[in-house]
Amino acid sequence: RNRRRKAAKRSALLTVAVPSVAVMGVAAVAAATITSGPEADAKDTSTQAADEIAKKPVQETELDRQLEGLSVGADDFAERASRTQKRIDLKERQAEERRRAAEEAARKEAMRPKFALPVAQRGLSAGYGQAGVNWMSLHTGIDFPVSTGTPVMAATDGTVSTQWDSAYGNMVIVTAADGTETWYCHLSSARIRSGTVKAGDVIGYAGSTGNSTGPHLHFEVHPGGGPAINPSAWLQSKGLNPN
């Protein structure tokens, strides 16, 4: 009977002990659960927030650098664009100025007389075809009685050449685009010896060189470089009166 009581007592102890162990296990799990619950999450969140805050100044600094770079780039682009526009404007102004200058030159050229009297003084001392002891044959030109040094002008546009002739003395010959030659004879000197001239340009100065009895300008016209024609009639056909 005593053995049965002892056995019953041990069973009771085991019965009490087993639930206690189970309770302890549950408590441990609960504690672990509590430890990894909201408080742990809060700590993790706080840590992440702190990391984000720590990163934020770095990110803002990098963003500032990028923005500054963009600003500098924009300023540089604007400056280059401004310089380019100024160059374009300058080229356009220069082109416009050239166009206006060309138009003005064309206008002046259109208005410019294409023919001129060889001297400013009118009146002749000898006419074309006139006979006399001073010429081997009929007079082949017209004479303007002007003093030595009087400016002599090209009657047409053309190319200048000079020569000496025993009869004509110092000569300037102007050959026009159509081949017409105008001769300026007995000159004291030539102002232009070669190159191109326009009607009215001074090409020399009157004198009395060659076969001459006194200062004057002997003027001849040779169409196509051929025989001389009446200079008075030719000048009048150009709207000029030598008389």
Asked if residue 141 lies in contact with residue 219, where contact means CB atoms within 8 angstroms, the answer is yes
Taking the C-alpha atoms of residue 28 and residue 139, their distance in angstroms, rounded to an integer, is: 150
Taking the C-alpha atoms of residue 130 and residue 140, their distance in angstroms, rounded to an integer, is: 8
Residue 74 in this model has a pLDDT that exceeds 60: yes
Phi then psi for residue 20, to 5 deg, are -65, -40
Q: Which residues of 113-138 are buried (b: 16+ CB within 10 A; e: fewer)?
A: eebbbbbeeeebebebebeeeeeeee
pLDDT tens figures, 121-180: 999 999 999 887 666 678 999 999 999 999 999 999 999 999 999 999 999 999 999 999
Check residue 2 and give its pLDDT: 46
Residue ranges of E strands in the chain:
142-144, 151-153, 158-165, 169-175, 181-190, 195-197, 202-206, 217-222
pLDDT tens figures, 98-109: 999 999 999 998
